[in-house]
Amino acid sequence: MKVLKYIFQFILAAIVLASILPHLFPDFWLTDIFSHFKLQYVIILVLILLPYALVSVRRKLLPVILIIIIIIWNASFIVPLYIQNRTITENSGSSLSILSMNLLASNTNYSEALELIREKDPDIIILLELSPQWNLEIEKLYTSYPFQLMHPQTNNFGIGILSRIPLMAKVSNLGKGFPPSIFGKLQVNGHPLSLLATHPVPPVSQEKFKFRNMQLEEISRLSNAQTGNFILVGDLNTSSFSSHFQNLIKKGDLKDSRNGWGIATSWPSDLFILRTTLDHILYKGEMQVITRTTEKNIGSDHLPVYMQIGF
């Protein structure tokens, strides 16, 4: 019984630290990583709450109360994604469907990706980690998507966009030397729309963490410069639980397309127990989300993201 109690105490202490440190030290890369797994913290704490209560009830209630507080604290970041009001817009023709796919440059499962595209039949396809070989495979779609801008690279930061709708687009490093993004403008049944597809670097060191955050700051400034409808799509290499993501939302005056649709975890695709949300679609303007989902595994370490939005 003592061993079990010590195990519970260790788990509780670890989760308390992992829950709080990202908010006390948001500018350190390692503590920020801890912020991404709030769903896992809630599940673990719920599982240990009853046995811990049985062990502690005769002696101390404080640990039980602490568990409940930390559950509520972490859940407060998750529950709004499920309970926020969502307005369902009838598909009257003034709508746009987007499929965002982090292909994984080393992935060779081309048929699965092409099959998903045919199944979802989106108006716009965003492609991340677009390698030269993936670019050759995607050329098969050009007849269905006559408007394209493809920027394949041999690293993990190739990017591309395909559209059925006339599109003016350019590759941009946002003026700061960041990995390439694509900025485009189009009209959906007379509704002007700006769109940014982007893929910041993963924050695997303090230097790259700062570089990612600088790109998020630049994106928020670009969003503020857009006076009409604007959509941001990409693998942002951060979950919505990070303070830096929250700053992007606030400073960029953006809405999370998941609001009312759930957490929609996307990475790592093959490890459900650790999965969090790195792939996002954010927006602002006179639009309402019709549907928002993550899709089947295409062999990448990220699940594709699909959204239909109405005007």
Annotate 61-72 with DSSP letters as a single string: SHHHHHHHHHHH
Question: Could you read off the pLDDT of 277-288 as tens digits, one per residue?
Answer: 999 999 999 899
Could you report how far apart the first and last alpha carbons of the chain are, in Å?
A: 60
Residue 177's pLDDT is 87
Please report, for the chain, the start and end positions of each structural domain, with discontinuous segments joined by +: 2-78, 89-310
Question: Could you read off the pLDDT of 210-228 as tens digits, one per residue?
Answer: 999 999 999 999 999 999 9
Query: Encoding tokens for residue 250?
Result: 């606030």
For domain 89-310, the CATH class is: alpha beta
The amino acid at residue 39 is L
Question: Could you read off the pLDDT of 55-105 as tens digits, one per residue?
Answer: 655 566 777 888 899 999 999 999 999 987 665 555 556 899 999 999 999
Question: Could you read off the pLDDT of 141-198 as tens digits, one per residue?
Answer: 999 999 999 999 999 999 999 999 999 999 999 988 899 999 999 999 899 999 999 9
Query: Encoding tokens for residue 100?
Result: 């965002």
Residue 1's pLDDT is 60
**pTM for the whole thing?**
0.93
How large is the average pLDDT for residues 271-280?
96
